[in-house]
Structure 1
């Protein structure tokens, strides 16, 4: 099925009537070190949403390309909105979709900084019985595969992310810069002192902006990650499509 943005209003009416689930790709435009494009996260979200949007029972909304990224703003080109702005935008977008009768939604998310806001939105939408909208993060869907494939703690612009975007958009990746990304990067995300988190911004613990071992990346590994994650997303859509909307709302224990 084409994305909602490419439909005429007549085509949209037909698409929404046939659909069981909408997917909303959310990402960011932020630094991913010297080798990867700023659009890494929303490229990934758009690609995964597109993988399931080919189904007749799915409608894909336009990608939301800027997310909650204040911790990356010391790096050139990074864009951010507040968590409150992002949450309001996403919530109101889904509310408008619900007015047309489609109330099962998956947030296909490509950026970790969006997770808390999306979780709050999902809870609010469910509480008002506007929509049932779980968040799907591609990296969680392939955690075991990434652990088997790469020797890294990972975290940002790592081997997994580098591989995925290399597979999706080879033209936007500079493989020669992966060495610099790793040399100036960190082995794991964050920084702490005596149990307290002191790495508030990415630059506090990585000079290059990368966290992990991006030199282990390859487009072939990216293809495997994409296929595995897309299969998990399709299974989630199957589960949600089959679930009665009445079973999606909060239960009354009284």
Structure 2
């Protein structure tokens, strides 16, 4: 069930049997020579759709923008300030909370979102501590941080998986949008690794946008495997979260 495609009456009816909601969140940023700029939003959106196919769970519209300042030296990237993202997430939660939602499960596709989103949760809990009634429950689930996904990436790609514009995320985005697959040669095959600071430093050290990866290895078929693993793991985690078992 999708929030954007529902009526307010349907949402009231949903709240009679569930007060949980899944909110996909990603980023709009470069992903190397063959990675889609929308990769970090595409992946959690497609995973959330897969969860919706298996269970009666409400899916919110994807938050497509994230904290991506470190990618701003690459054309097409859009970033939110950390404070903007904190406020955005806080406002989304408090709006939905006013209607009766109590459990907010964010499926995340971008590592740069982790500090501001978890800070938003802290703001929510801080405000709840000064009011009467139970506090909301919030969880950030990073789809790629799963032992089965990590093992599959290691099996398929070894060291070529990398740290940004990873093969697994590009593959999953290709599964979601096979019409957008890009065939681009990489030089070197596997990009170098290293730390980055600001956007200019990133572009200087990693001029094609990759860090430690060879996303030329990405295929639609592999993407489907990562997708299914993510759907299974996150659906199980959501059910545990809603039940209050963890």
Range class of TM-score, shorter chain: 0.7 to 0.9
- Kindly report structure 1 stretches of 4+ aligned residues shifted beyond 6 Å: 197-200
User: How far does residue 200 in structure 1 lie from its aligned partner after superposition?
Assistant: 7.2
TM-score (norm 1): 0.85
Matched residue SS, 2:145: helix
| Aligned match of 2:215 | 214
Per the alignment, residue 76 of structure 2 pairs with 77
Change (3 A) 1:55 1:21: farther
Gapped runs of 5+ residues in structure 1?
192-196, 249-254
Structure 2 unaligned spans of 5+: 129-133
1:227 corresponds to: 228
Whether contact under 8 Å (1:190, 1:199) holds in the other structure is: no
1:232: how far off? 0.7
Is 1:160 paired with 2:168? yes
Give how far 1:20 is off: 4.1
Residues 73 and 199 in structure 2, CA contact (< 8 A), matched pair in contact too:
no
TM-aligned CA deviation for residue 39 of structure 1: 0.7
Alignment counterpart, residue 147 of structure 1, candidates 132, 154, 160: 154
Measure the CA separation in 2 of the matches of 1:144 and 1:185. 19
TM-score by length of 2: 0.88
Deviation at 1:108, TM superposition (A): 0.6
Separation of aligned partners in 2, 1:209 and 1:145 = 24
Q: Aligned residues, how many?
A: 236
Write out per-residue CA displacement over residues 69-91 of structure 1, whole angstroms, 9 at most, x where no aligned residue. Answer: 01111111110110110110011
CA shift in 2, pair 1:98/1:201, >3 Å? farther
Quote the Cα distance in structure 1 between the aligned partners of 2:7 and 2:176.
28
Asked whether the 8 Å contact 1:33–1:208 carries over to 2, the reply is: yes
Aligned to 1:138: 143
Check conservation: 2:27, 2:65, Cα contact below 8 A.
yes
